[in-house]
Structure 1
Amino acid sequence: MNTIIELFSYDFFVNAFMASLLAAISCGIVGTYIVSRRIVFISGGITHASFGGIGMGYYLGINPLFGAGIFAILSGMGIQLFSSKGKVREDSSIAIWWSLGMAIGIIFVYMTPGYAPNLMSYLFGSILTVSTSEIGLMLALSIIIILFFTLFYRTILYISFDEDFARTSNLPVNLFNYLLMVLISLTIVLNIRVVGIILILSLLTIPQATANVLTREFGRMMFYSVGFAFLASFIGLLVSYFADIPSGATIIFTQVILFGLVKLIKTISSSRK
């Protein structure tokens, strides 16, 4: 226990701890909407499409996360626009933007002068190297998400479970679809450094699946998802530090173990009743 307390004397570990907390808040809340709306693969498309922005960022000499943010938002909007206005099947639209983003990213990384940049921290995450400025952006995003979901909770709830009813109730469904797509895109991009492009989808789905074992109520599911995401992230962070293994993969592995334990306990508890 003393060793764990001593870790908080290091700035890099405090940043990692804050990153795990803020990632749990943003991914826990937004992920609940994604799972309830059954748009997990749209999120996967945005995640991989954002690699195009990372490649462009390296080539242009700007922060790769800034490029990823722009590309992710454009991809999210593009998927929504192609599906609703362009009469393109949703899965096809996702595949188009997914492939386009990855292709552009690879091309621009190859065109970047000098030594090819190390993309491992973006592909697989590196929570121990998250900077103070990135923590600030994650904090701002978490506050925006909390306020947005608090103020428009009922509208989001209707859209998540019955979009047709929401439309007949004269709710601005299209506007909220685009706004939520922007929040999903930003959540994905700002948490890439925590678990990476390859694994970020897990952070948006596994805690929600764990929460869904205990409740089906939307509000409680968000609350439980944040708790499970933070618990798994913090445990995974400690394990990765002491075992000297990749943090992103360890966090996701811990989330899967936690899901299995909760599912097992729930099954045993139900069988005894």
Structure 2
Amino acid sequence: MELLNQLTFIERGVVAGVIIGVIAPIVGAFLLVRRVSIISESISHITLAGISAGVFIGTIGPVFESINPMYFGVLFALLGALVTEQLRNVYRHFQELAIPIILSTAVGMSAIFISLARTGYNEWYSYLFGSIVSVTVSDLQFIMMTALLVILLIGLFYKEFISISFDQEFAKVSGISIKIVNFVFALLIALVISMSMKIVGILLVGALVVIPVATSIQLARSFKQLVGYGIVFSQVAIASGLYFSYQYAIATGGMIVLMSVLLLMVILAFKKVRG
């Protein structure tokens, strides 16, 4: 705790970025293999609803002021991930309907809570688009604890995640509880979205989860390579995005996403040149 207090606001942003750059591509790789990458967009919007609810509750009285809205974001994100999975089962032949249903509900709830909270523009700007200078000690603690929990869950359920991602029918035959594993995976998505939003922003966090892995798949020949390259591309995008964001006072999340897209274009061009 004392060490974190000694960090400058820039150092806190860099540490948070490095941690997120490792965790986000790992979950993104599983999403890509399961062909459900778009879920990250709906979960990020439901996270915004949770944060706006947390901010609103914080304005009710002094008792709630000390509660970090990011914890409400995690709760809403988990519920959103579970409801999304349930809707995908209900609309088994039209599973893509789950995304607009959740996304629209989330945006509506966010609009209501934001209007009720009546807080300043700057606070919402950092939540929506990310900011390197807005990462507090409390935020960094949350990101570090969340990252440790994500790594622990992946370590415990790695074989189950791999089995369900590549062949769900085989997983059922093998005796794996699909419901339990999907619940844990929903928790992973919620945690990664929540921990990433202070740096990238809620509206752009889905891109950080997906684009580095989309770049990685152009080069990877195995799942481990997919994750490894994804982490490398994510770190490069975050490092360069943080640098340009600070130097030119540009939205952190937007810059990170643009650098991710630039890396993707470079790799695609490289592959095309090589034939």
What TM-score do you get using the length of structure 1 for normalisation?
Answer: 0.89
Q: Specify the code of the residue in structure 2 equivalent to 1:16.
A: G
Which of 77, 81, 89 in structure 1 is aligned with 2:86?
A: 81
Paired residues, number: 262
Give how far 1:26 is off: 1.4
Following the alignment from structure 1 to structure 2, what is the Cα–Cα distance between the partners of residues 126 and 228?
Answer: 20
Q: Please point out which of 228, 231, 247 is paired with 2:233.
A: 228
- Matched with 1:35 is 32
Structure 2 matches for 1:66-145, cutoff 5 A? 66-84=71-89, 89-112=94-117, 118-145=123-150
Distance 1:79 1:109 in 2: 23
SS in 1 for 2:271: helix
What is residue 43 of structure 2 aligned with on the other side?
A: 46
Separation in 2, partners of 1:115, 1:195: 19
Q: CA separation in 2, counterparts of 1:158 and 1:54?
A: 34
Q: Where do 5+ consecutive residues of structure 2 fail to align?
A: 1-5, 59-66
Once the two structures are TM-superposed, the CA of residue 203 in structure 1 deviates from its matched residue by 0.2
- d(CA) in 1 for partners of 2:40 and 2:252? 22
Aligned with residue 8 of structure 2, among 7, 11, 14: 11
- The residue number in structure 1 matching 2:54 is 57
Task: From the superposition, tell whether residues 94 and 88 of structure 1 become closer, same or farther in structure 2 (CA, over 3 Å).
Answer: farther
In the alignment, the residues of structure 1 paired with residue 145 and residue 72 of structure 2 have an alpha-carbon distance, to the nearest angstrom, of: 18
Contact 2:200 2:254 in 1 (8 A): yes
TM-score, scaled relative to structure 2? 0.88
Distance 1:171 1:117, change over 3 A: same
Does structure 2 conserve the Cα–Cα contact (< 8 Å) formed by 1:49 and 1:99?
Answer: no
Runs of 4+ off more than 3 Å: 85-89, 113-118
Q: Distance in 2 between matches of 1:213 and 1:114?
A: 44
CA contact (8 A) 2:241 2:259 kept: yes
In 2, the alpha carbon distance for the partners of 1:188 and 1:233 equals: 15
* CA distance in structure 2 between the aligned counterparts of 1:153 and 1:53, rounded to whole angstroms: 28
Aligned residue number for residue 4 of structure 1: none
Q: % of aligned pairs identical?
A: 29
Q: 1:116 to 1:240 in 2, by over 3 A?
A: closer
Change (3 A) 1:115 1:45: closer
Report how far residue 91 of structure 1 moved.
2.4
Alpha-carbon shift at residue 198 of structure 1 (Å): 1.3
Q: Which moved more, 1:40-49 or 1:151-160?
A: 151-160
TM-fit CA distance, 1:163: 1.0
Q: Using a 3 Å threshold, how does the CA distance of structure 1 residues 148 and 219 change in structure 2: closer, same or farther?
A: farther
Give the match for residue 165 of structure 1.
170
Change (3 A) 1:218 1:114: closer
1:114 CA displacement: 6.7
Structure 1 position 215 matched with structure 2 position 220: yes
